[in-house]
Amino acid sequence: MTTVAVPHVPARLGRFVLRMFRPHVYVTYGLLWVLALEGSAVAASGTAWRPSAATWVRVVTVVLALLFLRMLDEQKDLAHDRVHHPDRPLVTGAITATELRGAMAAITVVVTVLNGARSAVDALLILAVLGYGLFLAVLERVSPAVRERPLLGLAATYPVQLLLGGYVYGSLVATGTVTADWRGPALLALCACVLLHFEFARKTAWEAPPGARFYSTALGPRRAAVVTAGLAAGAVGCQVLVFAPQGPLGLLPCLAVILPVQGFRRFLAAGSGGWPLPTAIGFVVATYLALVLRAVLLP
């Protein structure tokens, strides 16, 4: 067992975060996700939207929840990483499971206090997210199928992202910012399609590396590519459903679909390698950024 002096723990956690939870990726994603979902929910109701203090609480909460889940994943994947990723921090001892669990406990306290100060509903919603993450850790430990089969694993793990989106939308409803209606599920489906497009893109390739749990291994490269492109189309369909009544300007964010179309064509034409990830990353950023701008400028 590795013993670490308490004064060294913050620096070790900081190095872990910088390597395994790159702020320019995860913080940017969490920020855009919350702003896009909140802004779209408010704008869809016909109300002008501007970020508020509550918005930034939601942003901080989502980013910290993503960090909690990343720390949990590091522990869940330890056996796999010992074989296939021996340079990971938990494998090398750069961080310990005890340190990660301590940080997770601190995150739980922080998000509970932040949200409980505003609404008991908000606190319960974010605790449901963290609780589901812990449930998944147990499920993967007792179920080799969930751990080893990528599609089954995705079916089990993705609801945690839906719960996180549900936290943002539920918080808006609980505070009276929006009224719950059919547009809420449609916007959550939109965000799900955007993230799942990227998730499938990063695990779709003509040849999977040894030990990789790719969706293209289970579905075949062409079918996985069709699903990847179809998820981007689903995101566009959700936008049309919610924002078509606002006219052509309301549908401008749909133009981001050009990126997955290019990715699909390039992947099939190449016949080797993986899905061109810049197009998938660009689709996430362009869609969310355009949703934020639309919420600010319209109606």
List the chain pLDDT tens, one digit each, 299 residues. 455 667 778 899 999 999 999 999 999 999 999 999 999 999 998 888 999 999 999 999 999 999 999 999 898 877 777 887 788 888 888 899 999 999 999 999 999 999 999 999 999 999 999 999 999 989 988 888 888 888 998 999 999 999 999 999 999 999 999 999 999 999 999 999 999 999 999 999 999 887 778 999 999 999 999 999 999 999 999 999 999 887 777 788 899 999 999 999 999 999 999 999 999 999 999 999 999 999 998 76
What's domain 1-179's superfamily in CATH? UbiA prenyltransferase (1.10.357.140)
DSSP secondary structure code for residue 249 in this structure: G
Closest CA to 97 of 211, 160, 4: 4
What local confidence, expressed as pLDDT, does residue 9 receive? 85
Closest CA to 68 of 24, 100, 91, 99: 100
What local confidence, expressed as pLDDT, does residue 87 receive? 86
pTM above 0.85, yes or no: yes
Q: Give residue 73's Cα distance to chain centre.
A: 13
Architecture of domain 182-299: Up-down Bundle (1.20)
Round to whole Å and give the CA distance between 255 and 236. 9
Round to whole Å and give the CA distance between 229 and 259. 10
Domain segments of the chain as ranges? 1-179, 182-299
What local confidence, expressed as pLDDT, does residue 252 receive? 86
What local confidence, expressed as pLDDT, does residue 168 receive? 97
Closest CA to 82 of 92, 95, 72: 92
Per the CB < 8 A criterion, the answer to whether 43 and 49 are in contact is yes
Closest CA to 259 of 219, 294, 288, 295: 288
Round to whole Å and give the CA distance between 134 and 136. 5
- Outline where the chain has alpha helix (H): 9-20, 23-44, 53-76, 78-84, 89-92, 97-116, 120-142, 144-148, 150-157, 159-174, 183-202, 215-219, 221-243, 258-270, 277-297
Round to whole Å and give the CA distance between 94 and 96. 7
DSSP secondary structure code for residue 175 in this structure: T
